[in-house]
Amino acid sequence: MRSGSINLLQNALTLIISFSSFYFLIRTLDKTDFGVWVLFMSAVSIMEFARTGLISKSLITYLSSAPSNAHNSIITASFAVNLSLTIVLAAACHLLAPLFGKLWDSPQLVPLFNLYIVTFVISGFLLQYQAIEQAQLQFRGVFLSNLIRQGTLLAFVLYVYFNDRHTSLSALVQVMTWGTLAATLVSHYLVRGTFKLWGKLDKYWLKQLLQYGKYSFGTSMMAVVSSSIDQMMIGGLVSATSAGIYNIAVRVTNMINIPTNAAATIVFPQSARRLEDGGNDAVKSLYEKSVGAVLAMLFPAIIIASLFAGPVIHFIGDDRYPESIPLLQITLVSAFFIPFTKQFGTILDSIGGVKLNFYVTVVSVALNALLNYVFIRHWGIVGAAVAMLISYLILFVATQLILKKILGVRTGAALVYAFKSYGEVYNRLRHRAT
């Protein structure tokens, strides 16, 4: 419960800070700069999530299941993999920066990517320390470091907004660098006594981490490409400004899905342990109940946001983004399927099905890219929202069939758990009233 409470608090604060940063940033930047910022963040997110897929999940899995006397060897091997991948991705970022600037007709992206390389190198250490803590089912350091990292950018944006000053995109990246550095130092301080790096690299654990992580790496990269490809293709096929308009609708949908991300963070280490203790039946029950719990929180939010899409968009993006209203109404429907597909990947990774998860993700990304290309060319930014909905629907059906075959998962059971929770809340409120 303590880990879950800390994680829930972390995600609640993440929602508040993320929303506040977005709310004031969109009022600080003009529509073109905001669109360029959206494209920049979409691109760097691919690097961050790809590295997380290779490092974090494999490290958590083996630290959760291996004997304690092997932990230092595992962590040392993971550090080596982390450093190597960071160097490769940083070099790719520098080399590809001019290409992205030309593709999106935004030459100001080139210095942004080069500046972000420093942030990316520092965040590699932060990722390592957070994974070590999560493997121990401790989340205090993760909470504090994420709060510092995100809060630093928010503080700067607030300063710019309330002092009526202008800021450049380069200044925003520099602030992110300082925030990441502070967060990394705090995270290291909290976990420094839980591990010791060995001078000798254990080839066995290096091989194990790479064997497990290669599919998780590919899956994470494909997943973030899938979530960003619509905005990237809008930037290339329409304009950077249109990418910013579409991002507003997607961001609202992502905010509603905060409970899904919180559940995934907790379920992954718990699932790995339940497989050891209770087998597939325990994992099946964990999937159904976790999805049901998330759906119970999502249903009211989706309905309210759909009914009041206009006021929501006007509140978040002021009167400059009315084009985002129909986009939000479409993307909100997609939010219903996300808990099912998100937990599918989490469960499969935790029980050793990373290879299957990778293949499913590759197919879904290819389908998503094809649908986006066709629909954006015909319908513009509305086509991207339609492509998202169809992609999630097809992925939902596929993942449920796979889980039914592997674990015997029943989709209806998750819905039953969701609606049962409403009855439990009602009974508790009635009991307190009496």
CB 104 within 8 A of CB 236: yes
Sign for the pseudo-dihedral over CA of 64, 70, 75, 80: negative
Instruction: Quote the CA–CA distance of 247 and 316 in Å, as a whole number.
Output: 12
pLDDT at 218: 75
pLDDT at 112: 96
Write down the pLDDT at residue 393.
95
Q: What is the pLDDT of residue 284?
A: 82
pLDDT given for residue 100 in this prediction: 92
Q: Which two tokens stand for residue 265?
A: 């963070």
The pLDDT, as a whole number, for residue 311 is: 93
Give the Cα separation of 341 and 396 in Å (integer).
Answer: 6
pLDDT value of position 1: 42
**What pLDDT score was predicted for residue 327?**
94
Residues of the chain scoring pLDDT < 70: 1-11, 137-139, 197-199, 258-280, 424-426, 428-434
Question: Which residue type, as a one-letter code, is found at position 25?
Answer: L
> Do the Cβ atoms of 157 and 28 come closer than 8 Å?
yes
Q: Which of 371, 350, 331 has its CA nearest to residue 249?
A: 331
